[in-house]
Amino acid sequence: MPVVRPFRALRYSPEVIPDLAAVTAPPYDVIDAEERARLVARDPRNVVRLDLPVAEAGDPDPDERYRRAARLLAAWRSDGTLRRDPRPAVSVVEEAYRLPRRMEAHVRRGFFARVRLEPVGGGIRAHERTMSGPREDRYRLLRAAGVNTSPVVAMYDDPSGRVAELLEAVAAGPPLLEVTDDQGVQRRLWTVPADDASPADELCELASRRPLTIADGHHRYETALRHRDERRVGVADDAELDLDFVLMLLFEPRAGRLDILPTHRILRGLGEPGVATLLGGISSFFDVEARLDGAGLEATFGPDSDAPGGEGRFGLWTRGGGLLLRARRDAPAALLAEGGPALRRLDVSLLAAAIEALAGIDAAAVAAGERIAYTKDARRAIEVVRAGSEGADAAFLLDPTPAAEIMAVAAEGDVMPQKSTYIYPKALTGLVINPLEG
């Protein structure tokens, strides 16, 4: 079972940073160059300068940007911008949000803690493959700076319901801070010191009873494992160090569900012959339920859709028009010989098999990042193909993957295809930082 513990976090000092919204940021992997520049212009102490360092003119080598982040971190700790908690604690967070273009409000609660690193497959389960480029980037940053700036987000199960009760009780008190991000997500945070009178230890103990399934942050977890293994060479096995742990944000469904958005696929470089082959073989994998124009497909798979997902429904858009498809669950079974039942029944697994068979885009081509682009925006997927920009020839639109299916795949020891899930809202970077110092 996992080991979950309170810890002494690094936080922005409210005396130095009165407006936390000015210095927090989305995770590095959803920030482009324009967004990064905007965040830095908002406040030069924005955490994006630590979490997403960039090369500058005159850098002597590619690693200088990571060393610059480490120097900046040291300076911010020295001048009081960042301050470490005096004693171990967990940080309870409440997120109030609306899904894109939806009116109904959602509230979920979780808590930040440290989790002991271990190989994936036992107390820690993963559900998604990672890519070498992001892994190497995160490793170099962690090696230079020695902190977890962004948490790994994980799910776990507490059948007793006690976690939800504890979090609700904490949330009834005045928060340490409140912040609203650019997507309108309202967050409140409470620090719960680990002592006899607080629920911090009980929260950690309850989260340690069952495996944790990584929902977001697979690259960060794998990087932390590599960093630990390299740094522990020559260290006694019974010596426990900070680098044996990683920062996690832990959610339990009874305290608020994890909303998962679909990630649509844009196929590149097919050309007219490739599109014709794709359409000609579509009946091998799918039944065509309807022909739709772009507006119809967007309405079916866009942010206003309330489809639960997991029912084998897909959209296909080419410059010849749109199709509403339903997977023939028997047809691709032979192509999904690997993996357990949970993996084999996933919509994204069925689609990956169909794309490989009909478009010749296999796992190696997907890993190379050249033949498939990804987007959460159904409208954008349609428009890119309609315009033929970026070499786009076809787009497959999907419903979301249910959280229960993610946990089922991880429990069977399998991993999903890349970009199978998009947790919303993403964890905010800068609320809590985990220093690896001892």
* Structure-token pair, residue 143: 């090696």
Task: Give the span between the Cα atoms of 381 and 205, in whole angstroms.
Answer: 44
Q: What is the C-alpha separation between 433 and 429, in angstroms, rounded? A: 8
Say what the pTM is: 0.86
271 to each of 267, 275, 319, 404, how far by Cα in Å?
10, 6, 11, 38
Q: What is the pLDDT of residue 332?
A: 52
The pLDDT assigned to 415 comes to 80
Total H helices, total E strands in the chain: 14, 21
User: What are all long-range contacts of 42-48, with beta carbons under 8 Å and residues at least 24 apart?
Assistant: 43/17, 43/19, 45/12, 45/17, 45/76, 45/81, 46/22, 46/430, 47/23, 47/149, 47/429, 47/430, 47/433, 48/429
Burial of 79 (0-12, 13-18, 19+ CB in 10 A): exposed
Tens digits of pLDDT across the chain (438 residues): 899 999 999 999 999 999 999 999 999 988 999 999 999 999 999 999 999 999 999 899 999 999 999 999 999 999 999 999 999 999 999 999 987 666 678 899 999 999 999 998 889 998 777 677 788 999 999 999 999 999 999 999 999 999 999 999 999 999 999 999 998 999 999 999 998 778 999 999 999 999 999 999 888 999 999 999 998 887 888 888 899 999 999 999 889 878 888 899 999 999 999 999 999 999 989 999 999 999 999 999 987 777 778 889 999 999 999 999 998 866 654 455 577 888 888 888 889 888 988 888 776 666 556 788 899 899 999 999 999 988 899 999 999 888 888 888 888 888 887 777 788 889 999 999 999 986
**SS3 state at 78:** helix
Q: 425: cis peptide before it, omega within 30°?
A: yes
Polymer length in residues for the chain? 438
Of 12, 38, 114, the residue nearest 429 (C-alpha): 12
Take residue 281 and report the two structure tokens written for it: 């073989």
Give residue 165's pLDDT: 96
| pLDDT of 412 | 85
Sequence ranges of the domains in the chain? 4-259+424-435, 263-399
Give yes or no for a contact between 317 and 394, defined as CB atoms under 8 angstroms apart: yes
pLDDT on residue 368: 57
Res 100: pLDDT: 67
* Residues 411, 73 contacting (CB under 8 angstroms): no
